[in-house]
């Protein structure tokens, strides 16, 4: 037993170093999102996040957009507490029976023009929770969805790229 303990202590960890951060790509993407928002709305983009019944994996990635590394506020993108101040609703998770009415009310409280983004696989099609008795279905079955950002969970860079795709004029 003692020998096994010492061998495990002496062995190096099997983890890998994280990939190097690409600050230039992040800055370019965030500036593009802010520019597109100002061109389309005349002001910066206001985002309201709604959890419709997720496992919170997507929320962790969304909240990472506000940490010191991504810091979306410096690019003019900000999260708001009220749907009345929002331009975009980021909805995560499959819509549960308990959250259906809350999501509908939030959607109707958001002023036009508004966009709804279904974040993650669960919001897009119910994910692993699709057959649960407590789940109504995907976000698109409750409110109209303008964009799906796939992933379980999508990375912050995928979220930014999705917001940029949402704001770019369709040709």
CATH number of the domain where residue 79 is located: 3.40.50.12280
- List, in order, residues 6 or more apart from 50 with CB less than 8 Å away: 89, 90, 91, 92, 102, 103, 106
Task: Give the model confidence (pLDDT) of 28-54 as tens digits.
Answer: 877 787 777 777 777 778 899 999 988
pLDDT of res. 48: 93
In a domain, 94, yes or no: yes
Number of domains present in the structure of the chain: 1
Tell me if 107 is assigned to some domain. Answer: yes
Residue 15 located in a structural domain: no
In a domain, 93, yes or no: yes
pLDDT at 13: 66
Query: Mean pLDDT, to the nearest integer, of 143-166?
Result: 88
Q: Is residue 58 part of a domain?
A: yes
Q: How far apart, in whole angstroms, are the C-alpha atoms of residue 52 and residue 5?
A: 46
Range of the domain at 115: 44-166
* Alpha-carbon torsion (30, 164, 145, 143), positive or negative: positive
- % residues pLDDT > 70 (the chain): 92
Chain segment 113-130, per-residue pLDDT in tens = 889 999 999 899 888 888
Is the pLDDT at 107 greater than 80, yes or no?
Answer: yes
Answer whether residue 17 is part of any domain: no
């Amino acid at each position: 037993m003692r020998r096994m303990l010492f061998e495990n202590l002496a062995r190096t960890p099997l983890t890998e170093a994280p990939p190097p951060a690409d600050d230039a790509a992040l800055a370019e993407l965030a500036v593009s999102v802010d520019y597109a928002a100002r061109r389309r709305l005349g002001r910066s983009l206001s985002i309201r996040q709604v959890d419709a019944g997720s496992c919170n994996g997507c929320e962790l990635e969304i909240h990472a957009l506000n940490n010191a590394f991504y810091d979306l506020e410096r690019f003019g993108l900000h999260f708001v507490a009220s749907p009345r101040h929002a331009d975009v609703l980021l909805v995560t998770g499959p819509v549960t029976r308990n959250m259906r009415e809350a999501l509908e009310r939030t959607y109707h409280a958001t002023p036009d023009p508004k966009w709804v983004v279904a974040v993650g696989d669960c919001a897009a099609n119910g994910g692993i929770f699709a057959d649960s008795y407590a789940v109504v279905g995907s976000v698109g079955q409750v409110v109209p969805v303008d964009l799906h950002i796939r992933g379980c969970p999508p990375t912050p860079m995928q979220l930014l790229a999705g917001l940029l795709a949402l704001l770019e004029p369709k040709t």
